[in-house]
Amino acid sequence: MRRVVLACALALAATGRAEEAIDPREQQLELLRAEVASEVQLQAAELIDELVYGWTLRAPFDVDTGVVLAGVSVPVSLGTGLEAYLETHLAGLVTRNPRTHLQLVHCPSCSAWVVHSGATGTVVSRGFDAPEALAKAGLSSGAKHALFLDFEAEGSSLVLRARLTTLDASLRIVSARTLSTATSAPAMLRESERLTSVAEARKSYLEALGGRGLFLVPVRIGVRSYAPGTQTSINTTPFLWVSAGLEAAFSQARAWTASMNAAFSWLPQSHVAVMAQGRVARLLTGNSTSLTWPDLYGFVGAGVLFGQGRGMLIFRNTNPTIDDVLNTNTNNEPRATLGILTVGLELRVKNRIGVSVFLETLPVIETTDNIGTYVDVLVRFQSFGVEVSFCF
């Protein structure tokens, strides 16, 4: 236990990590690029979703129009094959959303380099920059417009600049749009067949969050064992408990929760006991519960236990006498009422199932004759317990 405490304290104090000098910098940069690309990929797809959704509301053309996807450029120094993914994503969206009136046309010569010699000289350019040259060469795809998508990372924002140009001598921009997102905003992950606005997607997200509710009904099954005391003739049997209660949270984040439980324990020939307990828990793994990862809570609690039966003899400060044992046979069973203070940790998955471990101290137990001590830090913890919980 002391080692654990020491490790925690050292981890707390370590307010910075040493750079790993062993790994070559190049290797780190490559790993970083891969990591960043996976994040950029989602956000870039999100921006394309928003662009196409805008076109479904206000199509750039009144009738179905052939458009060449002339180019997708990614942020400078981030060449990770992102272009191909984004082209495919856009093509899929446009195909599934005919209201955009865009029909993507394949034009390999549009992105090829073209050498065009005329009266004014020789010009080397990409096909979509010299459509008249393509037309003269009979390489035109028949499409009258080209679409350019340009992504750039500006600090913590990813910016998409999209423009549709005419494929004639003027290369006029007929539609342009700038969209921006931030890393702090999660991707909406909209369905490609049924694109919705950001506001609608956000509403769905909030509804999903709200669906979790501020109140839960936890049902717990657990076992408490008590440390053996110095009086070796006393057998401290573990107590099996079943409890149910109500848990409330301040907000959807569920960073702080409070709960009240009523518990029941019964063992033939030993005891019947009930317990009322209150707990306050704090999320330790962040400021809000995760929808994908388990959450770890730390909790403290207080409770009152009342029980009767031979098993309750261990909660006395005096050693059981022969009379005490005999009394149990004459329907005058020993009774005990005591307070309990609890500290523990609970690991929860999606606020549905959880497992917790805890230590309890029984302040009224002054001697170690009947019940011993598991851990002695500031106070004596005489009981150790494990619970499995199901939340409804």
72-91 positions binding other proteins, by CB under 8 A: 73, 75-78
CB within 8 A of 23, min separation 6: which ones? none
Residue 236 Cβ, how far from other proteins at the closest point, in Å? 24
Using the minimum distance from each CB to other proteins, give the nearer residue, 162 or 340: 162
b/e 78-107 (16+ beta carbons within 10 angstroms → b): eebebbebbbebbeebbeebeebbbebbeb
Please state whether beta strands 65-73 and 145-154 pair in parallel, antiparallel, or not at all (unpaired): parallel
State how far the Cα of 24 lies from the Cα of 307, in Å rounded to an integer: 65
Instruction: Please state, in angstroms and as integers, the Cα–Cα distance from residue 268 to each residue in 15, 105, 247, 305, 309, following that order.
Output: 54, 80, 31, 18, 9
Among 230, 251, 321, 332, binds other proteins (CB under 8 A): 251
Site string for other proteins, 276-295 (x = CB under 8 A): ------x-x--xx-------
- Give the count of beta carbons closer than 10 Å to the beta carbon of residue 47: 24
Q: Could you tell me the smallest distance in angstroms from the CB atom of residue 225 to other proteins?
A: 23
Q: Considering the complex, what minimum distance in angstroms separates the CB of residue 2 from other proteins?
A: 6
When the beta carbons of 157 and 192 are compared against other proteins, the nearer one is 157
Query: Closest Cα partner for 296 from 260, 263, 259, 257?
Result: 257
Q: Which of residues 300-359 bind other proteins (CB under 8 A)?
A: none
Nearer to other proteins, 183 or 367 (CB): 183
Taking the complex as a whole, the smallest distance from the CB of residue 20 to other proteins amounts, in Å, to: 11
Which residues ranging from 122 to 161 are in contact with other proteins (CB under 8 A)? Answer: 123, 129, 148, 150, 152-159, 161
Q: Applying CB under 8 A, does 31 fall inside the site for other proteins? A: no
Determine the Cα–Cα distance for residues 160 and 357; give it in Å rounded to an integer: 50
Q: Which is nearer to other proteins, 129 or 387 (CB)?
A: 129
Which residue's CB is nearer to other proteins, number 49 or number 129? Answer: 129
CA atoms within 13 A on the CB side of 153: 15
Total residues at interface with other proteins (CB under 8 A): 74
Instruction: Name the segment binding other proteins (CB under 8 A); options: 248-256, 264-272, 315-323, 350-358.
Output: 248-256
Residue with tokens 């996807």: 69
Question: Nearer Cβ to other proteins, position 73 or 308?
Answer: 73
Chosen residue from 217, 246, 253, 364 binding other proteins by CB under 8 A: 253
Kindly state whether residue 209 participates in binding other proteins, applying the rule CB under 8 A: yes
By CB under 8 A, residue 14 contacts other proteins: yes
What is the distance between the alpha carbons of residues 230 and 140, in angstroms, rounded to a whole number? 96
- The rounded distance, in Å, linking the Cα atoms of 51 and 4 is 52
CA angle 143, 145, 151 (to 5 degrees): 125
Among 184, 233, 235, 269, interactor with other proteins by CB under 8 A: 184
Q: Is the dihedral of CA 372, 374, 377, 378 positive or negative?
A: negative
- Cβ 14 to other proteins, closest distance in Å? 6
- Nearest-approach distance from CB 255 to other proteins, in angstroms: 7
Least Cβ distance, residue 166 to other proteins (angstroms): 9
